Structure 1
Amino acid sequence: MMPSAHLSCGWLRKLLVVLVKFCLASAGPPRPLNETGCAARTPASYVLVFTGHWSPQAFPKQYPLFRPPAQWSKLIAVSHNRHFRLWEEGAPASPGVQSFAELGVTVELMRAAKEARKKRSVGAMHRTAGIPNGIGHSSTEVVVQPRSSLLSLMVKVIPSPDWFVGVDSLNLCEGSHWKQEVTVDLQPYDAGTDSGFTFSSPNFPTSPAENITQITSQMPNHPANSFYYPRLKELPPIASVRITRQRRFPDGQNAVSNHILPNSIIPQRFSATPLDCEVSLWSSWGLCLGPCSRGGVRHRTRYILLRPANAGVPCPELEEQAECVPHSCMKKRQ
């Protein structure tokens, strides 16, 4: 009897240890889902507000006033996990990104997101209406699941060759908690598929296509670039996005609420950007006017390429004259 009782006690002790370990493991935080790093137990509802800050005060160089004027395309937002990328800096633009960045067409982007949703890489897709001015905002309600807590979005800069602003894989979840509010200032990006330098450049495909890169105040390093401001260390944000968690869930799925505000209602967060005058190279010297030996003069001219704005460096003299030298005078025939 004694050996049997001893074996029973040892077996019960091992079973008790296993049960204790199981209970401790169950009491801990849940494992992250779908590699997003999010351990939240319930979805979260957010209001996403996109605001354009593209004004002639902040971006005076070649500011588009007509055909078409400065404006923003519809916003495309996708919630997803780490197996999906809407776009990525330093990587080639997908056909969907190229189509959207060049033409504002969303068909290819939406098709790729729908295919990824079949593989459970994408949670939800959202769109807002475009903004017909450089300054304005649009908003939408976004429901984010723990398994797809990353948010990416794109908005095309109109007019432009292939420029856009956006957010890549912003994680709205931190551990087991949803973030309450996130604000991101946005800079312009070049999709790398069109070689235009200015807002109104004609379509000129880049061959071979380049990777997606951020446009800065000095890159591309060319005076014709519409965002070239060599006096600035960095460009002021051309747009921003604010994502705020709300306690209640929207009544319907993918509820969209778009608002366009006049310029006077949206506060200007940034000071005016100074724009220096730009002039052409001097022309060739003209013929001598008057006799060389008695005060004859010659002239050359240049013209304004870009007028100054916001207390920028004023334009220099556009005409210059100099005294004639013998080789610029016509000799009289004997």
Structure 2
Amino acid sequence: MVTTRIILSTAEALFHLIVMLLTLGRGVHSMPVTTDVPMCTASDTAQYSLTFTGKWTMAAFPKQYPVYRPPAQWSNLIGLTHSSDYHMWQRNDFASNGVREFAEKGEAWTLMKEVEAAGKRIQSVYGILSAPAVAGGTGQMSTEFEVFARHSYLSFIARIVPSPDWFVGVDSVDLCDGDHWKENASMELFPYDAGTDSGFTFSSPNFETIPQDKITQITSSSPSHPANSFYYPRLKHLPPIAKVTLTKVNKTNQIISLPLQPTQSNQLPTGNDIEDTLINTPLDCEMSVWSPWGLCKGKCGDSGVQHRTRYILMHPANNGSPCPLLEEERKCVQDNCL
């Protein structure tokens, strides 16, 4: 409950900052952007509704699933509408200091300053959007935003909580199709590593990556380390951990609307989302290495017996391979038997 309140308080403070930045930025008029990307020729602006749905369930991601201190949840979502020459973040590129702080701590102050500076320098950012944090792995958050021809791209980021520096998001999704706006779009989201922290598990302590790595997508086999919370060697692909749905709505006079606050109705998955939560990822049993063989016990002149043991590192789930025996014995010949 304390963790949830902290996240919601941070989201509220962040929203006030965004409103301030938007208010200051209204007086800056966007200039044409030179680019090799085909120019959008839609004459009107377009209003979109964005719905983010978490699919982070214990059934789909049973390995080390965080159930407390804190439980699985999502940070607030931060997004931008922009031109093709700007990137909030990019796969296989280095994360900015702002993306780093958001991916590691959920703090967006530096990221907002970077966006503000880019908007003033190259006038490539049109609007900033935000949606409130979700206190659960399978909740929803929603907001609305506006795009126009010269700034028809959407990017956003949401932090996976808890995690070292993991997040989900989209990079430069173009909502314009020639001379008209797309009616809707839906994208499945997968985890990314910001390349700034070297932790392998959801609850890993802070361990800075030096030198910094590039942003990479986390898969069922990469990083290829058994301790990795997303390491499922039996899977070819990870199931999506979230999805985003974009729907064109009737335009209003608002440049940007307030984020929709979480409610009982939009916190719970509906429709096809209920079916998505039924994904069951098999998790095989993981065992420790065997201990050394113990002392040889028995009567002098007879064969003795010695034992060794091991313990369970990870219990199986969802019909994964069961745990083998925890103890073995073998015959032995006693030394120094009198």
What range describes the TM-score normalised by the shorter chain of this pair? 0.7 to 0.9
Deviation at 1:195, TM superposition (A): 0.4
- Determine the C-alpha separation between the residues in 2 that align with 1:33 and 1:249: 26
Q: 2:29 corresponds to which residue?
A: none
Preserved contact between residue 34 and residue 148 of structure 1 (Cα < 8 Å): no
Q: Distance in 1 between matches of 2:269 and 2:84?
A: 40
Displacement of 1:128: 0.9
The letter of the residue matching 2:147 is V
- What are the residue-to-residue correspondences of 1:179-198 with 2, within 5 Å? 179-198=182-201
The CA distance in 1 between the partners of 2:163 and 2:140, in whole Å, is: 19
AA at the equivalent of 1:316: P
- Partner residue in 2 for 1:40: 42
Once the two structures are superposed, the pairs formed by residues 66-145 of structure 1 within 5 Å of their partners are: 66-118=68-120, 119-145=122-148
CA distance in 2, matches of 1:91, 1:206: 15
Q: What amino acid sits opposite 2:262 in the alignment?
A: H
2:325 paired with 1:331? no
Correspondence 1:209-224 to 2 at 5 A: 209-224=212-227
**Equivalent residue pairs, number:** 299
Question: Does structure 2 retain, via aligned residues, the 8 Å contact 1:93–1:191?
Answer: yes
Residue 267 of structure 1 is matched in structure 2 by 274
Contact 1:47–1:142 (CA under 8 A) maintained in structure 2: yes
**Counterparts of 2:259 and 2:253 in 1: how far apart (Å)?**
10
Q: CA deviation at 1:308?
A: 0.3
- State the 1:115 CA deviation: 1.5
SS class of match (2:186):
strand
Alignment of 1:156-167 (within 5 A): 156-167=159-170
Match of 1:309 in 2: 317
Per-residue Cα deviation, 1:239-287 (whole angstroms, up to 9, x for no partner): 0000000023265733221335455655131521010000001000000
Deviations 1:112-153 (A, max 9, x none): 111222232000001111001001100001111111101000
Q: Which amino acid aligns with 1:288?
A: C
d(CA) in 2 for partners of 1:116 and 1:252? 20
Distance in 2 (alpha carbons) for counterparts of 1:33 and 1:176: 17
Q: Distance in 2 between matches of 1:69 and 1:268?
A: 22
How much has 1:296 moved relative to structure 2?
1.8
The superposition leaves residues 133-177 of structure 1 with CA deviations (integer Å, 9 ceiling, x where unpaired) of: 001100001111111101000000000000000000000001011
Distance 1:63 1:98, change over 3 A: same
Q: Mark the CA change 1:263 to 1:58 in structure 2 (over 3 Å): closer, same or farther.
A: farther
Aligned partner of residue 325 in structure 2, secondary structure: coil
Contact residue 140 and residue 268 of structure 2 kept, 8 A: no
Structure 1's 306 and 263: CA in aligned 2 closer, same or farther, altered over 3 A? farther
Structure 1, unpaired ranges of 5+: 1-31
Which amino acid in structure 2 is aligned with residue 277 of structure 1?
C
Mapped to 1, the partners of 2:284 and 2:300 lie a distance apart of 38
Aligned to 1:28: none
Give me the whole-angstrom Cα distance separating, in 1, the residues matched to 2:115 and 2:275.
35
Partners of 1:144 and 1:292 lie apart in 2 by: 87
Distance (whole Å) between structure 1 residues aligned to residue 91 and residue 337 of structure 2? 69
Give 1:57's aligned residue. Answer: 59
> What root-mean-square deviation, in Å, do the aligned CA atoms of Structure 1 and Structure 2 show?
1.7
2: CA distance between counterparts of 1:262 and 1:136? 4
Deviations 1:28-53 (A, max 9, x none): xxxx9664621111110000000000
CA distance in 2, matches of 1:262, 1:295: 66
Q: Is the 8 A contact 1:96 1:109 kept in 2?
A: yes
- Supply the distance in 1 between the matched residues of 2:155 and 2:34 (Cα, whole angstroms): 17
1:300 to 304, 308, 315: 308
Larger radius of gyration: 1
The residue identity in structure 2 corresponding to 1:298 is: Q
Q: Percent identity?
A: 50
Preserved CA contact (<8 Å) 1:161 1:202 = yes
Pairing partner for 2:286 from 262, 273, 278 = 278
203-212 vs 261-270, which moves further: 261-270
Conservation of the 8 A alpha-carbon contact between 1:53 and 1:268: no
Give me the whole-angstrom Cα distance separating, in 1, the residues matched to 2:248 and 2:223: 38
